[in-house]
């Protein structure tokens, strides 16, 4: 497979999602600030969500909603189905987004809570339990 | 079957309405929360009931559809058991959580409800994405629970936990979406049935799923975040994390196993084993109990995961799912209950910052939980570990076997160290009472005992006689408040009843040993009556150990034998621990005891299966070495002196005179099952002979320099066991006869010595010989007993020991072992030194003023001594009483070397006539006495202070006592032989293991980001390995 | 330095695992069998024009119930963590927050009503158009967030939020049970008549469930925002 061919096969949404995941992971591993870690986690999850979404995309098709865009009449179910993208990743990503949001909210609250207790915002100052 | 969806609806409905219910009062809200958990438990039990009575596993669709369109829940045996376990852990933890939940904001109760529901969901669902949802529900619930009662350290840990959890959930999502993309389904069963995932892309997609679950299972080294949480959270929460959460995640792993290829499975197995080894190594270095339990948790979970993967790989057991379910399930059940109980118990103690000893009930629970965790019988872990070891040996996976047993031994070390600490407490601290908080641990302990007993009786050990030790211990523990005499009588009756019930099943050899083992137990049960009061714990343990010795004789299969053996080890360990200074000796006792037992286990598991211990070749050698550890052969004897010295005096006697014969019996049984030969052939017997000789010499030399009377006797036992081994190793008629003769003799005179010494210590209140003296008039019976015993032991005429020595030298010379003969002779001479001292320092010389009021020992000690003296006298005058049965036992396996002619025993070298010896010696003695009485005029008795002091006062008065360092001159000559090389070797060994653990635990820096780095690196390395495999 | 190298190696290792999977799988030509089944059957099964919604609320409605539970648990956790007492504020007077700008205050007044209405529209039409309960709930929460920003001293009524959250959640579970009793399974939206596809009152209980989710999510997110302000009792 030539390079050009490979590049043409790349799914741009998946690629950007994967890069975003790596950026997020880097943030989690390299930024000591509690809030930045939480946000980096969120970035990583966003990347994952893009990856999920990318697998449902089919060239030339439209949203899986049965309206005038896909079907003249509602009875032409099979014909309509042939014009729609894969709905499953879209359904999954919805769940994943909300869960990610919930985790981020809780993680941020912990960060607020820890900082309010006077330990500062750097994760390095929360290492009393060790060995 | 109950549709699990109702329970989810119940949980969620209750959770959603909880804020409104809470307005009616927190108690009502908590009743609702625990009620929902109880409903889950009831449902789980009802499923189990249906499935175990032959019902089929059932699937439940949602929204009126089935897979692949809709999410499907499945209730099979594993799921039912998992849900039951999760709800049970939740309820056990609820005992300790209730107060905190009442005081904290409502979020705690909501999080608990959500976490438990999420875990059950993980277990039940068959949909990969739904699994993710439930993973997240339980994760969020856990995050909430970690911080709910506002412990500052737990808040820190929670943040670290969340970072790792976030990474894991991202990995999982990536995996799940590509599995969907490739397999076109989210349903596990459909995905596993297809082949779409077998290509490189499928392998990578499944890898992401697997990596996420593995990270959630807290693998080494990516588990610092979890250990921190275990250490800092509310103990109830740690219990849920370690018990319920681990169960759910392991079942999740179990579920996706069908998706995994061989390479994936190898990763799981490798990672699990590494975690097991590293977790235990690091745990051994840990002195904070909750963190220690945390390391133990990750280790156990690693082992279960590894077993599941190995079984799936097909390299283990009978290859069926049954094996994996039985072993992994057994280990998991064991871990779940034990760890839940221990976290609750240790956590309650830590929360109170208590330093004293635990109150009896809590202590008993702690003992059961610790023993179960380590895999002692009869708990579920024991049965699982046996099957595992057997399968590993069958498959030739020796290195895995070594990891499993080595890790278990480390775990035993640190868990029992903690138990010892809690059993003893710090001096001057009040006993720790936990009140209602001990309910959870006690319940967990009871469940473990019930599950283990059920698994054993309905499984591989149906013979009720083998369960007698446990029954006796349980009954006597229940009666522990009653007076000692009642329990003592019951113990004796139990030993007698056991003997009567078992007698017909025993062959001659076993009957011979039964006399010593059961008789010894009964003897010391009587001796235990020497002090009034209930003497809590002593009688149950003594009875259990005695009956366990009996059970060893009764055992017919290798498993039965090992079951009885470990029962004996555990009971005797607790006897040692009960002693006043028993904490440290007990630890080395159990570590070496289990070390020996594990070698035995490996050997038995690998050996033949046609009844008895039939193990030739390498397995046989493993058995042999394991038995030698238990016998205390030189080099692995370091556990012995301390245990004998520090346990209660009657326990010491029991250990030394009765229990030490158990490994001797097992050696004979091993040799007999191989046709009166040792595994490995003549070289083994030659080596064993020298080892016995070294033990005899070493024991005697060490004994000479002791100041502590019980240590002297302990080393003396060591030496005597050495002779028994030496004679046994000769492997001919003379040798075996001698060995059995020496064993019985040792039983007689060592019992007398320990009984007498127990009386002396009880009356004088000290164990140091130089603090005694002149007791001959105050304790005449004890004196006579010691005198007879040392005459018998040293082998001078006229008592039976003379015959023993004659037999031994005849054997050695007849065998052509001349050098051995010389060394044995030298060792006997050395033994005479310490024996002389027993009489000289204790009974002769000046009485101490402080011991002016010393009386003869209590009847409970004197009476057995009188009986033993009579027996000793009888067998000395009529040696055939003893030798005829022994010669009959040895039988015609070997060419006859010894033959009786009337009262004369003939060998190729000459003859010995016990009766004649007695008559001659008695005559000489009488003549001397008459001469002395006739010629000794005006004897003068020397008063206490009738001595001249020089004009100086020594810094330490005892150093001027004539008995202080009595044999110092000999130490200058022979001291180089008694440097404690073995002690130093094992110390260095321990230090080595500890430094490995110390190096490994440097990974756990406490920095949450470093932990995250470990997680990502772990995944990356795993992926690289996947490429290699 | 060592640490940086390790971080680089870790990210590189992850990239090594992730990129081939993400880049190599390409763009599919046609949906798989499962997706096709959904596309063809969903309108007939549930009368929902929006097939994603049909999947989210019915076929995979159990996921969605779980997702609601996640958000619920997170709200509970946030609420338990961030109380005035636990943040160490005690009875101290809250420090005065800077007043919002004129623009924000004015815009809030104009937008709040519109945003709430838009949110309600989104969840009511979840079975017909892109959108649904979560999206609608988030929009409603945005309106309340604007309010909090415009009047920093103000509080959302905790009691009302909790009541909305509880009751809508319980009603969602109730709708699920209704499906079990009146239709073919837990969370089956066919408990209510399906109606004519494409009209507002159609798709069985899907719009009802989505409305409940919208209310619940709106209340929960608003609760989280209020708690994150850090001065809740």
Structural domain for B622, as ranges: 465-680
Is the CB of B220 inside 8 Å of chain C's CB atoms?
Answer: no
pLDDT, tens only, B4-25: 999 999 999 999 999 999 999 9
Phi, psi of B358 (to 5 degrees): -75, 150
The closest of B340, B335, B360 to B422, measured between CA atoms, is B360
In this structure, how many other beta carbons lie within 10 angstroms of the beta carbon of residue A81? Answer: 23
Residues B788 and B832 in one domain: yes
- Please give the residue range of the domain that contains residue A16: 11-57+81-124
Of B5, B111, B201, the CB nearest to C73: B111
SS3 of chain A: the string is: CCHHHHHHHCCHHHHHHHHHHHHHHHHHHHCCEHHHHHHHHHHHHHHHHHHHHHCCCCCCCECCECCCCCCCCCCCHHHHHCCECCHHHHHHHHHHHHHHHHHHHHHHHHHHHHHHCCCCCEHHHHCCCCC
Question: Minimal Cα–Cα distance from A66 to chain B, Å?
Answer: 19
Q: Which of chain C's residues have a Cβ under 8 Å away from the Cβ of A67?
A: 49, 128-129, 198
Q: Is residue A71 part of a domain?
A: no
Task: Kindly report which listed range (B61-65, B505-509, B552-556) carries the lowest average pLDDT score.
Answer: B61-65
B114 CB within 8 Å of a chain C CB: yes
User: Is there a domain that residue B635 lies in?
Assistant: yes
- Nearest in space to B925 (alpha carbons), one of B836, B749, B798, B835: B798
**For residue B391, which phi and psi values (nearest 5 degrees)?**
-65, -40
Chain C residues in contact with B110 (beta carbon < 8 A): 72-73, 76
How many CB atoms neighbour CB C93 within 10 A?
6
- DSSP-assigned letter for residue C56: I
Work out the minimum CA distance from B343 to partner chain C, whole angstroms. 24
User: What pLDDT was estimated at residue B613?
Assistant: 55
* B754 shares a domain with B647: no
Q: What is the pLDDT of residue B962?
A: 67
pLDDT digits (tens, 9 = 90+) for B619-678: 888 999 999 999 999 989 999 999 999 999 999 999 999 999 999 999 999 888 888 888
Chains with 3+ CB–CB pairs under 8 A to B are A, C
| Cβ <8 Å between B63 and C70 | no
Quote the pLDDT of residue B966: 77
- The CA distance from B814 to B833, in Å, is 28
Tally A–B CB contacts below 8 A.
128
The verdict on a CB contact (< 8 Å) between A41 and B1013 is no
Same domain, B723 and B770: yes
pLDDT of residue B610: 43
The count of structural domains within chain A is 1
The token pair at B919 is 């008559």
Residue A104 inside a domain? The answer is yes
CB contact under 8 A, C134 and A80: no
In a domain, A72, yes or no: no
Task: For residues B659 and B760, state if they share a domain.
Answer: no
Q: Cβ contact (<8 Å) for B159 and A130?
A: no
Q: Of B680, B710, B730, at which residue does a domain stop?
A: B680
Least confident of B256-260, B685-689, B768-772: B768-772
Question: Is some CB atom of chain A closer than 8 A to the CB atom of C70?
Answer: yes
Number of neighbours of residue B277 by Cβ within 10 angstroms: 22
Burial B792-821 (b: 16+ CB within 10 A, else e): bbbbbbbbbbbbbbbbbbbbbbbbebeebb
Q: Does C34 touch chain A (CB under 8 A)?
A: yes
Maximum distance among all Cα pairs of chain A, rounded to whole angstroms: 68
Q: Measured between CB atoms, which of A18, A80, A110 is closest to C18?
A: A18
CB-defined contacts A:C, below 8 A: 170
- Contact flag A126-B156 (C-beta cutoff 8 Å): yes
CA dist., res. B1001 & res. B41, Å (int): 38
Residue A101 belongs to some domain of the structure: yes
Give B285's contacts in chain A (Cβ within 8 Å): 131
Closest CA in chain B for residue C59: B70
Exposed e or buried b for every residue in C148-172, given b needs 16+ CB within 10 A?
A: bebeeeeebeeeebbebbbbbbbbb
Q: Are residues B671 and B697 in the same domain?
A: no
Least trusted range by pLDDT, from B317-321, B377-381, B533-537, B919-923: B317-321
Of B638, B661, B680, the domain-final residue: B680
Computed over every residue of chain A, the mean pLDDT equals 86
Of residues B166, B132, B30, B49, the one with CA closest to residue B90: B30
ipTM of the complex: 0.96
Give B811-824 as a 3 state SS string: HHHHHCCHHHHHHH
- Residues B616 and B704 both lie in one domain: no
Phi, psi of B481 (to 5 degrees): -80, -15
In a domain, B207, yes or no: no
> Residue B609: is its pLDDT beyond 50?
no
Between residues B570 and B840, the one the model is more confident about: B570
Note whether A88 contacts C44, CB cutoff 8 Å: no
The count of other CB atoms within 10 Å of the CB of residue B556 is: 12
Q: How many angstroms separate the CA of residue C182 from the nearest CA in chain A?
A: 26
Q: Which of the pair, B664 or B947, is modelled with greater confidence?
A: B664
Of the listed ranges B46-55, C81-90, C179-188, C221-230, the least confidently predicted one is C81-90
Residue B658 domain flag: yes
The CATH number that applies at residue A24 is 1.10.287.3510
Q: Which of residues 241 through 270 in chain B touch C, CB cutoff 8 A?
A: none
CA B113 to chain A, closest CA, distance in angstroms equals: 17
Within a domain: residue B381? no
- pLDDT, tens digit, 9 for 90 and up, residues C61-74: 999 999 999 999 99
Residue B958 confidence class, pLDDT cut points 50, 70, 90: low
Give the lowest-confidence range in B61-70, B316-325, B490-499, B649-658.
B316-325
Q: Are residues B659 and B745 located together in one domain of the fold?
A: no
Nearest CB to B1009: which of A32, A95, A103?
Answer: A32
Q: Strand, helix or coil at B235?
A: helix
Is residue A92 domain-resident?
Answer: yes
Percentage of the residues of chain B whose pLDDT score is greater than 70: 96
Q: Judge whether C88 is closer than 8 Å to chain A, CB to CB.
A: yes
Residue of B nearest to A111 (CA): B159
Is B255's Cβ below 8 Å from some Cβ in A? no
B235 falls within a domain: no
B283 part of a folded domain: no
Is B1004 an 8 Å CB contact of chain A?
Answer: yes
**B759 and B661 housed in the same domain:** no
Average pLDDT estimate for B252-267: 93
A127 and B147 in contact by Cβ < 8 A? no
pLDDT at B960: 62
Peptide bond into B798 cis (omega under 30): yes
Chain C residues with CB-CB distance to A117 below 8 A: 88
Give yes or no: residues B496 and B611 share one domain.
Answer: yes
Residue A120 maps to a domain: yes
C198 contacts A67? CB cut-off 8 A: yes
Domain boundary (B656, B680, B704) is at: B680
Q: How many domains, chain B?
A: 2
DSSP B986: H
Stretch 3-22 of chain B: residues touching chain C, C-beta under 8 Å? 3, 5, 8-9, 12-13, 15-20
Binned at pLDDT 50, 70 and 90, residue B319 comes out as low
Phi-psi group of B260: left, alpha or beta (phi > 0 → left; psi -120 to 50 → alpha; rest → beta): beta
Residue A116: the pLDDT is: 86
Radius of gyration of chain A (CA): 21
Cross-chain CB nearest to B173 (options A24, A48, A103):
A48
Q: Does residue A46 sit within a domain? A: yes
C 122-151 → A contacts, CB under 8 A = 128-130, 132, 134
Q: Clarify whether residues B527 and B668 are in a common domain.
A: yes
Query: B646 and B745 share a domain?
Result: no
Specify if B840 maps to a domain.
Answer: yes
Residues of A in contact with C78 (CB under 8 A): 105-106, 109
The pLDDT of residue B974 is 77
Residue A128 distance to chain B (closest CA, Å): 6
A51 touches chain B (CB under 8 A): yes
Using a CB-CB cut-off of 8 Å, the residues of chain B touching C81 are: 107, 147
- Using a CB-CB cut-off of 8 Å, the residues of chain C touching B108 are 80
Residue A105 in any domain: the answer is: yes
The answer as to whether B60 is a domain residue is no
A chain contacts of residue B139, beta-carbon cutoff 8 Å: 103
* C193 touching chain A per CB within 8 A: no
The better pLDDT of the pair B453, C101 is held by B453
Residues 38-77 of B with CB under 8 A from C: 61-65, 68-71
Q: Distance from B968 to chain A by nearest Cα, in Å?
A: 47
In chain C, residues with a C-beta closer than 8 Å to the C-beta of B181 are 25, 28
In this structure, the answer to whether residues B819 and B671 fall within a common structural domain is no
pLDDT at site A71: 60
């Amino acid at each position: 497979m030539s390079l050009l061919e490979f590049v043409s096969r790349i799914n741009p949404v998946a690629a950007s999602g994967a890069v975003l995941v790596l950026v997020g992971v880097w943030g989690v591993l390299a930024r000591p600030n509690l809030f930045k870690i939480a946000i980096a986690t969120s970035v990583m999850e966003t990347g994952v969500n893009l990856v999920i979404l990318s697998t449902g995309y089919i060239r030339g098709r439209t949203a899986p909603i049965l309206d005038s865009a896909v079907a003249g009449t509602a009875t032409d179910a099979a014909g309509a189905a042939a014009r729609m993208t894969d709905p499953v990743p879209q359904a999954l990503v919805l769940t994943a987004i909300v869960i990610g949001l919930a985790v981020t909210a809780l993680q941020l609250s912990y960060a607020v809570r820890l900082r309010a207790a006077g330990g500062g915002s750097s994760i390095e100052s929360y290492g009393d339990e060790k060995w | 079957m109950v549709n699990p969806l109702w329970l989810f609806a119940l949980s969620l409905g209750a959770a959603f309405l909880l804020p409104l219910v809470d307005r009616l009062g927190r108690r009502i809200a908590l009743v609702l929360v625990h009620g929902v958990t109880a409903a889950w438990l009831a449902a789980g039990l009802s499923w189990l009931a249906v499935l175990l009575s032959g019902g089929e596993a059932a699937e439940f669709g949602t929204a009126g559809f089935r897979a692949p369109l809709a999410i499907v829940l499945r209730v099979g045996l594993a799921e039912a058991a998992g849900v039951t376990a999760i709800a049970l852990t939740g309820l056990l933890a609820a005992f300790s959580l209730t107060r905190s939940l009442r005081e904290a904001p409502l979020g705690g109760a909501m999080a608990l409800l959500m976490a438990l529901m999420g875990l059950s969901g993980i277990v039940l669902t068959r949909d990969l994405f739904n699994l993710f949802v439930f993973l997240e529900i339980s994760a969020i619930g856990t995050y909430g629970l970690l911080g709910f009662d506002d412990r500052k350290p737990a808040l820190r840990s929670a943040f670290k936990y969340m970072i790792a959890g976030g990474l894991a959930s991202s990995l999982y999502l990536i995996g799940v979406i590509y599995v969907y993309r490739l397999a076109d389904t989210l349903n596990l069963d459909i995905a596993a049935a297809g082949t779409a995932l077998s290509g490189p892309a499928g392998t990578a997609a499944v890898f992401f799923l697997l990596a996420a679950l593995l990270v959630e299972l807290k693998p080494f080294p990516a588990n610092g975040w979890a250990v921190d949480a275990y250490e800092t959270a509310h103990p109830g929460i740690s219990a849920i994390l370690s018990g319920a959460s681990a169960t759910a995640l392991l079942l999740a792993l179990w579920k996706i196993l069908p998706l995994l290829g061989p390479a994936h499975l190898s990763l799981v197995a490798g990672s699990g084993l590494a975690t097991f080894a590293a977790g235990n190594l690091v745990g051994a270095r840990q002195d904070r109990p909750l963190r220690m339990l945390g390391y133990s948790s990750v280790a156990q979970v690693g082992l279960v995961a590894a077993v599941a993967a190995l079984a799936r790989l097909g390299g283990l057991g009978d290859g069926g799912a049954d094996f994996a379910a039985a072993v992994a399930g057994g280990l998991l059940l064991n871990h779940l209950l034990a760890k839940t109980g221990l976290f609750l118990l240790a956590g309650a103690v830590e929360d109170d910052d208590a330093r004293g000893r635990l109150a009896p009930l809590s202590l008993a629970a702690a003992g059961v939980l610790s023993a179960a965790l380590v895999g002692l019988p009869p708990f579920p872990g024991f049965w699982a570990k046996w099957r595992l070891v057997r399968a590993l040996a069958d498959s030739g996976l020796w290195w895995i076997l070594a990891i499993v047993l080595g890790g278990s031994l480390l775990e035993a070390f640190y868990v029992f160290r903690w138990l010892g600490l809690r059993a003893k407490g710090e001096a001057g601290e009040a006993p720790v009472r936990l009140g209602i908080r001990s309910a959870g641990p006690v319940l967990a302990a009871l469940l473990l005992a019930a599950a283990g007993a059920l698994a054993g009786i309905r499984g591989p050990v149906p013979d009720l006689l083998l369960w007698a030790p446990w029954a006796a211990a349980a009954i006597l523990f229940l009666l522990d408040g009653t007076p000692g005499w009642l329990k003592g009588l019951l113990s004796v009756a139990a030993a007698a009843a056991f003997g009567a019930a078992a007698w017909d099943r025993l062959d001659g050899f076993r009957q011979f040993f039964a006399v010593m083992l059961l008789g010894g137990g009964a003897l010391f049960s009587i001796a235990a009556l020497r002090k009034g009061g209930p003497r809590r714990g002593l009688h149950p343990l003594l009875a259990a150990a005695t009956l366990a010795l009996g059970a060893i004789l009764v055992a017919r299969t290798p498993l039965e034998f090992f079951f009885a053996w470990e029962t004996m080890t555990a009971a005797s360990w607790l006897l040692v621990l009960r002693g006043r200074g028993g904490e440290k000796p007990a630890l080395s006792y159990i570590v070496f005891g289990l070390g020996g037992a594990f070698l035995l286990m490996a050997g038995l598991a690998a050996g033949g299966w046609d009844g008895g211990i039939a193990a030739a070749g390498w397995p046989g050698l493993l058995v042999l070495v394991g038995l030698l550890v238990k016998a205390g052969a030189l080099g692995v004897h370091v556990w012995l002196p301390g245990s004998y010295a520090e346990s209660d005096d009657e326990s010491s006697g029991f250990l030394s005179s009765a229990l030490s014969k158990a490994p001797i019996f097992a050696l004979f049984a091993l040799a007999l099952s191989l046709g009166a030969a040792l595994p490995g052939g003549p070289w083994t017997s030659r080596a064993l002979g020298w080892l016995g000789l070294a033990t005899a010499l070493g024991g005697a030399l060490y004994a000479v320099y002791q100041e502590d009377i019980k240590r002297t006797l302990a080393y003396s036992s060591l030496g005597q066991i050495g002779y028994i081994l030496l004679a046994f190793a000769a492997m001919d008629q003379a040798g075996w006869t001698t060995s059995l003769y020496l064993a019985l003799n040792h039983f007689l005179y060592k019992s007398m010595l320990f009984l007498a010494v127990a009386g002396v210590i009880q009356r004088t209140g000290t164990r140091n010989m130089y603090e005694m003296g002149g007791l001959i008039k105050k304790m005449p019976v004890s004196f006579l007993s010691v005198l007879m015993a040392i005459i018998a032991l040293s082998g001078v005429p006229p008592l039976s020991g003379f015959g023993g020595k004659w037999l031994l030298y005849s054997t050695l010379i007849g065998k052509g072992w001349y050098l051995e003969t010389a060394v044995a002779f030298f060792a006997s001479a050395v033994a005479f030194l310490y024996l002389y001292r027993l009489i000289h320092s204790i009974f002769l010389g000046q009485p101490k003023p402080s011991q002016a009021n010393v009386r003869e020992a209590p009847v409970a000690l004197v009476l057995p001594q009188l009986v033993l003296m009579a027996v000793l006298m009888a067998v000395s005058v009529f040696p055939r009483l003893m030798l005829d049965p022994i010669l009959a036992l040895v039988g015609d396996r070997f060419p006859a070397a010894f033959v009786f002619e009337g009262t004369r025993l003939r060998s190729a070298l000459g003859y010995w006539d016990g009766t004649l010896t007695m008559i001659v010696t008695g005559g000489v003695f009488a003549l001397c006495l008459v001469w002395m009485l006739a010629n000794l005029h005006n004897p003068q008795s020397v008063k206490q202070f009738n001595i001249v002091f020089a004009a100086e006062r020594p810094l330490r008065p005892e150093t001027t006592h004539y008995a202080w360092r009595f044999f110092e001159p000999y130490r200058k000559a022979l001291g180089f032989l008694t440097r404690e090389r073995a002690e130093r070797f094992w110390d260095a060994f321990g230090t080595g293991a500890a430094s490995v653990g110390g190096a490994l635990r440097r990974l756990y820096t406490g920095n949450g980001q470093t932990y995250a780095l470990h997680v990502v690196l772990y995944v990356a390395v795993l992926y690289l390995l996947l490429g290699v495999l | 330095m060592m640490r940086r190298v390790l971080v680089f190696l870790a990210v590189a290792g992850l990239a090594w695992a992730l990129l081939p999977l993400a880049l190599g799988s390409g763009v599919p030509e046609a949906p798989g069998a499962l997706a096709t089944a959904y596309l063809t059957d969903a309108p007939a099964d549930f009368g929902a024009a929006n097939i994603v919604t049909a999947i989210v609320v019915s076929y995979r409605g159990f996921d969605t119930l779980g997702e609601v539970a996640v958000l619920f648990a997170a709200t509970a956790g946030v609420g338990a963590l961030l109380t005035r007492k636990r943040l160490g504020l005690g009875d101290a007077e809250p420090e005065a927050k800077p007043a919002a700008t004129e623009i924000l205050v004015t815009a809030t007044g104009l937008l709040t009503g519109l945003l709430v209405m838009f949110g309600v529209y989104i969840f009511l039409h979840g079975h017909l158009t892109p959108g649904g309960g979560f999206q609608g709930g988030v929009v409603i929460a945005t309106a309340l967030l604007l309010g909090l920003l415009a009047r920093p001293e103000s509080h959302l009524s905790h009691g009302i939020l909790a009541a909305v959250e509880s009751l809508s959640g319980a009603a969602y579970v109730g709708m699920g049970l209704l499906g079990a009793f009146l239709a073919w399974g837990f969370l089956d939206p066919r408990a209510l008549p399906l109606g004519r596809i494409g009209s507002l009152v159609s798709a069985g209980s899907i719009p009802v469930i989505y409305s409940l989710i919208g209310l619940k999510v709106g209340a929960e997110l608003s609760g989280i925002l209020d708690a994150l302000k850090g001065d809740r009792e």
